[in-house]
Structures are given as structure tokens and as C-alpha cells.
A and B are shown apart, each in its own frame.
Chain A
């Protein structure tokens, strides 16, 4: 298990390799489709600081509000590939060091990871309760009214958030590996009657 503290340095991130298990501690934000579109199309100054050396968690949480304080009830990752059109630009624009989600991403993001020093971390989909527990505090939220609970940008403090590196800054992707292996089987299965 490798510990990563946020904000992370480029050096720390470049050390990571596909298959490494990591535990992330520090402040990050959640972001899904609406947030990504917003971060690319607008200046999004309110998230600049947290994104510098920070991470974006693809997550639409269930959030509880008690006496004006928010807490995460359930917070597993959402499918990342929907953000493929935006992510590379966001990594470059804000200096993001990590993307956390599920299902992996494609070529442009992998390239941006190599070019700017960023990794893709895979959290287990549906691990809502365990992951919510590693969110120690909700520091704030941007665009809650406009985007709604799942799409809002939640600023969260996490402690030892567990994930696996599936895309590193050296051009490797576990997703490409599994795709190639399963494709060989697929061809065998479709070929035979």
C-alpha cells in the first residue's frame, strides 16, 4: 500500500505504476458530467486551488445534512469514460495529479497522464459505504443548487481512501491489457459454433 498525500507532487505521481494499491489522504473534489463540462467551458476559479496537485473523484454521493453540516452517506465511484471528452483538458488546465473513478478512461486521458504527470486510480464500483467512511469531512460544496446533489462539486477531506492505479504516467493501462486479453477469448468464442 502506497500512501499519497494531497496536494501531490509530480515526482510522487510519476513513481506510481499500474497495479499499485494506494491510500489517498487530503482534500479533493467530486465531479461528474455537469461539473466536467463546467470546468472546461467556464473559468471555474473556485476550484483552482484544490485542483492544483489535487484529485477529482468521479462520484455522485448520497449526502446527509444535519444542522447545516453535510456528511457523505454513500459515495462509490461512477463510470469515468463519460468524462473522456473533458478530462485531458482539465488535467492540463488545472494541474490535476489524479483522477479517481471506475471503468478506466481512454487514449486522450492516458496521454495527458503521461504528458502532465497524472494517474488514474480505480476505486471499486458500488463500494459506497466503505468509501463514504474514508470521507472524514465535507469542507464545502460548489453549484449545489444549480447542478443538484449528485452533480455538485463537493470539497471533501479523505483519509486513506483506497484505490488501485490502473492507468499510470508511463503509458500503461490495465484496461487496455484486459481488453486485449478478453478480445482474444471473444474471437475464439465468436469464431466457433
Chain B
């Protein structure tokens, strides 16, 4: 039987080197819409070519392999500590094999830990279920796109944004406008409404685990997702900010109950190198997606 850490290493390798199918499809469609001769279209095609090469040669799609964000759901037969140790081992191993760039920097000394392990890194969220089995979702969230994320506190008089979905809409438009080409668009936007400052951001990031064609079960939010997708693309910022019709590939919205006094809207932006992968381990058999 393979060790847990070996499965996790494969999960990290896949996340870093394979562009998810839904993202590839969305970019291919966008390239057709933009047309080959436009700079937007040729940029999208170069990105896709890069992803194809990365997959073929098992090298990172982008050199910024980002923060590792793990969501772990485990059955009663597992010990959390054992999973955590295996994730850390796989992370260090993946760094040594160049699937990951050393990305953990001490903010005080400026020293890079060299293996992607540090205070709070990688980020691992655990939850235990009743049924046996282990399922893990992993996202590699690049730093450039992380930097263009934003959090708003409503009401916001500059934006004319009140504590309602229209206010949320304005925040999203503002964040994507401010980001321009800096987040390596076309981006996908995760919105977290409510919570406190910390959990609002978590919610916005969790939304990015959803597939691009996934429909929000809440019809009001689904409607807002569709509208924002259309409107954000009207901004004309385009791939890499070179101009064009494709500024975002999707918008995903989630909510958390908030305090009466607070109304946060968090915006997480993920770049075109939208790296996520998942694995399920059940009865000794592993499958990846």
C-alpha cells in the first residue's frame, strides 16, 4: 500500500501542472470569441499552449505556485495529525521536486523556509465526517492574484453601496476595475458576503473551489453571478489587461451570517492559472480529479 504522503504528492503535482478541464474549456471558448488576430485572442492561445506544455513535461504552469490551500474531509478511521504530517511531508517533497517554488517567507527576518512550510503554511482546513474515506481539495493561489483581492465594509459612500446585493455588486465591479491587468486575467471572482473580516475572506476563497459551470443553488445569488459575469466583461480590461472582451471567466458567490453591526464583502481574485485538484481515497483506492 502506498503511503498517504505519496498520494498527496501526486495531488500537488497534478494541481501545479494540469490546468483544470473547465478552466481550459472556458479559455478556449474565450479565444474563439476574441479571434486569433486580436492581442486578447493570441494571449489566451499562448496561455493555453503554456498549460499544454506544462502538463506534458510535468512542470508548474506558473512559477508562482502560490499558497497551498487544502480542504480535508476525513472519516473516523483517520487521525487528523497523521494527515497533517503527510501533507507537510508531501509539500516539502513537492518543493524538492520543483512542482512547487519555495514560497514561505518569514515576514520579520525575510528568510525563505525553502520547503513551503512555515507558520500557517500550508493552510489546511479539516473537517471530520461520519463515513469512512478521505477526500481532499487543493488550490494553489498565486500571489499576484492574491494581491488584487479586496475587502469592503458596507455601507460604502464612495461606491454608493448599501447593505444589500446591489451594494455587493458595486464592490465586485470596483475590485475588478481596480485590479486591471495585475491579477493575470482572465480571472475568476469569488465573493464572500457577511461573516467577520477573517471568515468573509475564507468564504470568498472557498467559492473558488466550485467548477465554473456550477450553478449557485440560491436563485438570487445565481442571478447576481450571471449579471456580474456579463458586466465585468463589459469593462474591456481583457487578458493581462491588454484589452478585450474576456476580463473574467466566472463569478462565484457565497454567504456567511454576519454580526448586526458588520457587513463585509470580500473579493478573491484567482488568475487564469486557476490551479485546483482533488482526490478521493476510499477502500484503499485513490482517484484524482
Contacts and interface: CB of A to CB of B under 8 A. Distances in A.
Interface of A: 34, 59-62, 64, 73-76, 78-79, 81, 102-104, 122, 124-130, 132, 148-151, 164, 166, 174-175, 177-179, 181-183, 185-186, 189-190, 193
A76 B49 CA distance: 14
Contacts of A186: 173-174, 177, 235
Nearest to A34: B110
A175 B236 CA distance: 12
B241 A126 contact: no
Contact of A189 (B54, B59, B234): B234
Contacts of B65: 62
Nearest to B232: A189
A178 B236 contact: yes
Interface size of B as a range:
35 or more
A75 B114 CA distance: 18
A128 B242 contact: no
Given A74-B61, A122-B240, 10 more contacts: A75-B63, A104-B181, A122-B242, A129-B59, A130-B49, A130-B53, A182-B180, A186-B173, A186-B177, A189-B173
B62 A126 contact: yes
Interface of B: 39, 43, 46-47, 49-50, 53-54, 57, 59-65, 98, 100-103, 105, 110-112, 114, 142-144, 147, 159-160, 166, 170, 173-174, 177, 180-182, 184, 231, 234-238, 240-243, 271-273
Contact of B182 (A79, A129, A166): A79
Contacts of A59: 63
Nearest to B170: A190
Given A103-B241, A104-B181, A122-B240, A73 B102 contact: no
A76 B236 contact: no
Given A64-B98, A104-B181, A124 B60 contact: no
Contact of A125 (B59, B100, B173, B240): B240
